[in-house]
Structure 1
Amino acid sequence: MAKQEEPIMDGPKRMQKELKLMMEDTKLPQLRCLEVEPNNIFKWYGLLLPVSPPYDKGAYKLEIDFPQQYPFKPPRLHINTKIYHPNVNERGQVCLPILETEHWLPTSRIESVLNCLLATINDPQPDNAWSVDMANEYRNDPKKFFKIADAWVDRYSEHRPTDAELKAFDRKRKKAMQKN
């Protein structure tokens, strides 16, 4: 009797499909420079370009780690650029309900996850914060919160690429994809 293929084997095919859509699609203009670690489709990198102050003055490196069991288990997101944000802890972990095991659905797509992430970065959610103190500051003393957040953007954020730099990156990536 032949051994049945486990459903986990669908993970990489699904990831390839999602990656292709994310690379071709312009639905997420706030996520740019998407790349995959060489020979490891389970690790993606990108650059977040938020649109709301004060985060709109910087860029933030994003790392996406997919478990081998994806889509049956959620990916893990890390912002690898220091950011003063109530929903991001000091290790760059992001508090998003969609990624919690009890809320995760195998039908969830990475595009939806990234849309939630970007919505949260642009509009902090103090009711779902990693830092209660920072959430209270955001609620009760927004001037102080935004002053500190703005200083962190100036000090720690990545260079925010120009449109010309983004187009050059896209051209380079397309050439590399055509070679493969």
Structure 2
Amino acid sequence: MAKEEPIMDGPKRLQNELKEMMGHTVLTQFRCLEVEPDNIYKWYALLLPVSPPYDKGAFKLEIDFPMQYPFKPPRLHLNTKIYHPNVNDRGQVCLPILEIEHWKPTTRIEHVLQVLLATINDPQTENAYRVDVANEFRNDPKRFYKMAEAYVLRFSEHRPTDAELAKMAKKKKKAAQ
């Protein structure tokens, strides 16, 4: 029976965190949160970074929670192509906080997202998935920013305005009633 407790706690913890995130206005760079129908373990959202060159686009984020959450970390995946040292070509994000040896069950998804956004806005070359891009960021920042901006312009999602975000939130609230 004790082995099933983490699985039993998972949905309750996720429900609480989801409820908090749905009403959250502090993480303004994390918007349009949705949960896959009938699957609380899969969330989708839009990242709106604030630092150049990423501030010109929006990036689709997928969050997969394991059945053992919060005892095992979630997996983050950017579904929008991005030129970034901490994100590989498949959209996997390198964040030490999500590594098994660093993960703490008390870590909440809000904190994970804050770390993710801080990393997207300010690349961490010491934790690079793409060493070549990290080296470019350190040694030839002008070239790095030119390439990153080209990726943003070519691959990023439409960055919604505040008015569009308010309209989407209003529509979503109306649909939930």
- For structure 2, the residue ranges without an aligned partner over 5 or more in a row are none
Cα deviation for residue 78 of structure 1 reads 0.3
- 1:127 aligned onto 2:126: yes
CA, structure 1 residues 7+130, in 2 after alignment: closer, same or farther (shift >3 Å)? closer
Distance 1:172 1:116 in 2: 29
- 1:19 aligned onto 2:15: no
Cα deviation for residue 176 of structure 1 reads 2.8
Partner of 2:142 in structure 1? 143
Distance 2:40 2:147 in 1: 37
Cα deviation for residue 175 of structure 1 reads 2.1
Distance 1:150 1:44 in 2: 27
What TM-score do you get using the length of structure 1 for normalisation? 0.95
Say whether the 8 Å CA contact 2:70–2:106 is kept in structure 1.
yes
Cα deviation for residue 177 of structure 1 reads 2.9
- 1:160 aligned onto 2:149: no
1:146-166 Cα shifts (integer Å, max 9, x gaps): 000011111000000011110
Say whether the 8 Å CA contact 2:6–2:71 is kept in structure 1.
no
CA RMSD in angstroms, aligned pairs only: 1.0
Distance 1:177 1:63 in 2: 22
Distance 2:6 2:44 in 1: 26
Partner of 2:102 in structure 1? 103
Cα deviation for residue 173 of structure 1 reads 1.8
1:63-74 mapped onto 2 (5 Å cutoff)? 63-74=62-73
Cα deviation for residue 64 of structure 1 reads 0.2
Distance 2:42 2:129 in 1: 24
Amino acid in structure 2 at the alignment position of 1:110: I
Distance 1:175 1:62 in 2: 24
Distance 2:62 2:5 in 1: 28
1:116-160 Cα shifts (integer Å, max 9, x gaps): 000000000011000111100000000000000011111000000
Distance 2:64 2:37 in 1: 14
Distance 1:19 1:162 in 2: 24
Cα deviation for residue 174 of structure 1 reads 1.5
- For structure 1, the residue ranges without an aligned partner over 5 or more in a row are none
Cα deviation for residue 6 of structure 1 reads 2.0
Partner of 1:7 in structure 2? 6
Say whether the 8 Å CA contact 2:94–2:128 is kept in structure 1.
yes
Cα deviation for residue 14 of structure 1 reads 0.6
Q: Taking every aligned residue pair, what percent have the same amino acid on both sides?
A: 76
